[in-house]
Amino acid sequence: MISDDIINTVIDAVDSEELIKLTSDLVKINSVWDPVAGTSEQPAAEYVFKWTREQGFEAIMEEVAPGRPNVIVSWPAGAGNRKLMFEGHTDVVTAGDESVWQYDPFAAEIVGRRMYGRGTNDTKGNLAAMLIAMAALKRCGIKLSGTIIGGVLCDEEDQMLGVRDFITSGHADTITGAVICEPQDGLICTTQKGALRARFTIAGRMSHGAMPLSGLNTAPAVAKLISALHELEYKAVNHPGRDEHLGWPSFTPTVIQAPASGVPQLNVMPGEARILVDIRTIPGQSHPDIISDLEAMAVEIEQQVRQDYLEFDKLLELERNHDLRVQVEILTDRPCTLTDQKDPVVLAADWATRQLTDEVPTYAGVPGATDGTFLWALKNIPIVTMGAGDRQVPHQVDEWVDLDQLVETAKIYALTALHYLDPDPVQPENKKI
């Protein structure tokens, strides 16, 4: 049972000025991964490393790729097997054209109760909140049972090298639950969409537009592939249907290119075409099954189009090679995630949110992948994704975060850890949640 005294002690230990200063310092460090401009996560990681050591935490820096370190902060808060990870990334996406920003993207300007700048929302504010939460718990000297790990990782926005390295180095092996600190506007997210990206390449033969019969057009195969993708989407919309938190699954041909490379010209029939497909999945869909469907689709459509050409050419009394090829490659395969709402990490997040907001928490899903995807998929770690910041704002011009929500988030993180590592938990049958 956690007393009101303890709850208030922890909440009071979260210093809002310190949180705003830490967020501001992190935002002012340009940590866009840009080898041409010479910027990387390195200075942000060094800052966090130094800050956490000053707070008395153990911290190590591990280089994942040149100039791209992870910082792993650990605090053995007490005896016990539970190990809670807070995860936040140091990289931010590019500011793009800075002239269209109203605020300097790396100045952390505060106007009213908003802080503006790249990463305020995604996710330096939440990274600062998790570090302040850890520091607050440590300072108030409350008895806890277990360990807290701060995973301050690089490259979340691109290949997720940071979390992959964290896992392959063995750091995730004993983690029992993780809070993924990302802008979810106070929602508790227990599920995330999966992503499967594929490239179809259709090879025919180039020819003059006036003499198409001397070549082999790829367009009929492109049309059939697009229709077949729509059929797969239709099937998925029927089953598994709409996910309560994540919405509909989708199979979207995003890029349709012919020629696959070079300059398109109206009087030239291209020899090669390309379709890029962005598939977003929900629980109930199987990635291996979808991959088999895509592979079967490539084989069937290749055969169908060859057959169509054969019959058409009979009509034209024409002889030509029907060696059309359709191939598919999988470019990305990130599964969807689903954590049981009765898992202790979700119960802790739920309890903490109720304490702070006096409201019933809203559950939701994350539309994209995060570092949590890999912790869940590769190490079976229950994850909950939550944090401050409007969900539409990441990667936009004039990115911002509401400072009051950020302070509340730091308190929610601290209480989540307090509940998860409670040395004297209420037995489930007596639990009043």
- The site for Zn ion (CB under 5 A) is made up of 122-123, 182
Phi/psi for 326 (5° steps) reads -125, 120
Phi/psi for 431 (5° steps) reads -65, 130
Q: Which residue, 153 or 273, is less far from Zn ion as judged by CB?
A: 153
Q: Which residue, 13 or 180, is less far from Zn ion as judged by CB?
A: 180
What DSSP element (H or E) covers 328? strand 325-334
Q: Which residue, 21 or 395, is less far from Zn ion as judged by CB?
A: 395
Please enumerate in sequence order all residues whose Cβ is within 8 A of that of 257, keeping only pairs 6 or more positions apart, or say none.
273, 274, 275
Q: Which residue, 293 or 399, is less far from Zn ion as judged by CB?
A: 399
Q: How far apart are CA 230 and CA 33, in angstroms?
A: 36
The encoded tokens of residue 366 equal 């994350």
- Write down the least CB distance from residue 388 to Zn ion, Å: 12
- Write down the least CB distance from residue 123 to Zn ion, Å: 4
The encoded tokens of residue 343 equal 């898992």
- Write down the least CB distance from residue 41 to Zn ion, Å: 13
- Write down the least CB distance from residue 132 to Zn ion, Å: 18
Where helices occur in 106-218 by DSSP H, the ranges are 125-139, 161-168
The encoded tokens of residue 414 equal 């601290």
Q: Which residue, 157 or 295, is less far from Zn ion as judged by CB?
A: 157
Q: How far apart are CA 325 and CA 204, in angstroms?
A: 7
Q: Which residue, 69 or 183, is less far from Zn ion as judged by CB?
A: 183
∠ CA 403-361-344, rounded to 5°: 105
CB 382 within 8 Å of CB 179: no
- Write down the least CB distance from residue 384 to Zn ion, Å: 15
Task: Determine the residue type at 196.
Answer: L
CB 77 within 8 Å of CB 148: yes
Q: How far apart are CA 376 and CA 338, in angstroms?
A: 8
Q: Which long-range contacts (CB under 8 A, 24 or more apart) does 227-231 make?
A: 228/297, 228/301, 229/253, 229/277, 229/297
The encoded tokens of residue 229 equal 């993708």
Q: Which residue, 86 or 351, is less far from Zn ion as judged by CB?
A: 86
Q: Which residue, 275 or 369, is less far from Zn ion as judged by CB?
A: 369
The encoded tokens of residue 187 equal 């929602």
Q: Which residue, 39 or 123, is less far from Zn ion as judged by CB?
A: 123
Q: How far apart are CA 305 and CA 41, in angstroms?
A: 49
Phi/psi for 312 (5° steps) reads -65, -45
- Write down the least CB distance from residue 429 to Zn ion, Å: 38
Q: Which residue, 123 or 373, is less far from Zn ion as judged by CB?
A: 123
- Write down the least CB distance from residue 277 to Zn ion, Å: 24
- Write down the least CB distance from residue 275 to Zn ion, Å: 29
Q: Which residue, 142 or 181, is less far from Zn ion as judged by CB?
A: 181
The encoded tokens of residue 180 equal 């993924």
- Write down the least CB distance from residue 112 to Zn ion, Å: 24
- Write down the least CB distance from residue 364 to Zn ion, Å: 16
Of how many residues is the chain composed? 433
50-61: string of b/e by CB count within 10 Å (b at 16+)? ebbeebebebee
Q: Quote the longest CA-to-CA distance of the chain.
A: 91
